[in-house]
Amino acid sequence: MKQKYIVIHSLNHTDLNMYQCGTEVCDPGHYYGPAVRDHFLIHYIHSGRGRFCVGDKVYHLSRGQGFLICPNIVTFYQADMEDPWNYSWVGFHGLKAESYLRSAGLTAENPVFSDSGDNYISECFRKMIEAKNLAKGREIRLLGYLYLFLSQLIEQNGTGLFIDTAGSRKEAYVKKAIEYIDMNYSRKMTISELARSIGLDRSYLGSIFKEHLSISLQSYLKNYRMDKACELMKNEDLSIGDIARSVGYDDPLLFSKLFRKCKGVSPREYRRRYIEAN
């Protein structure tokens, strides 16, 4: 049995962390378990066959397929006696790990996937294994390949948003819109661009956003930018023009006009009051 194995120690308090990755050419009948893991673990089969058992379900798998092991669930897997599998695996955790997997259609109840036949996933694992030789940027490179791997699973197997009902679907879209604003408010983004990024018609997104938050998308974006501007006012090294550009407005006059309308005072007056109060 030939095995390459990498362990990366990290804490489970960021969006995504790689815990381990490796590859193995299994001997006939080689097995692991029954056992539980404390993190998510995905195996991808490059060649050969085997079986994966979770609960009362048995999955017979072969080349181009993979399976997910979820934390704290008892599983067992074994290579075929005649055509044992060669697989790679990656273990990970993080605040968004489960969300990414659900977006790819992978859950404890639905743990098996198939690739698209373009070798993209296989190539991701190959590059992960190669990255172990990096001296300085290994952990960042490995995490990058993990993101690429999960994005491919989402692209070929998932919906992009895991949804249970019409209500949760709308909530998911609203959450995506807020996340997009949080990441892009500092540049000249538009509501149409935001809607395209989620895959919705602008008017439909606007209607469900207002339905859930009782405010239009445009007003939410403006208020969000002005709140960020107020935070930047505390930095006296920044001019009003600097602050305007930092929250997505190239025209300081337009920014000042919108700021006064939103906060009731001009940016300079707001800064003066803050300085006097502190």
pLDDT at 7: 46
pLDDT at 274: 82
pLDDT at 159: 52
State how far the alpha carbon of 202 is from the alpha carbons of 119, 190, 217, 220, in Å: 36, 10, 10, 15
pLDDT at 68: 97
* 37-71 per-position pLDDT tens digit: 989 999 999 999 999 999 899 999 999 999 999 99
Token reading at 11: 């804490």
- CATH no., domain 2-157: 2.60.120.280
Q: What is the pTM of this model?
A: 0.62
Return the axis-axis angle of helices 166-184 and 191-198, rounded to nearest 10°.
130
State how far the alpha carbon of 258 is from the alpha carbons of 32, 141, 158, 221, 226, in Å: 62, 42, 41, 12, 8
Look up the CATH superfamily of 163-278: Homeodomain-like (1.10.10.60)
**Residues 21, 72: contact at Cβ < 8 Å?**
no
Cβ count near 9 (within 10 Å): 8
Domains of the chain: which residue ranges?
2-157, 163-278
pLDDT at 172: 82
**Residues 121, 74: contact at Cβ < 8 Å?**
no
pLDDT-flagged residues of the chain (< 50): 5-12, 160-164
Separation CA 142–CA 18 (nearest Å): 7
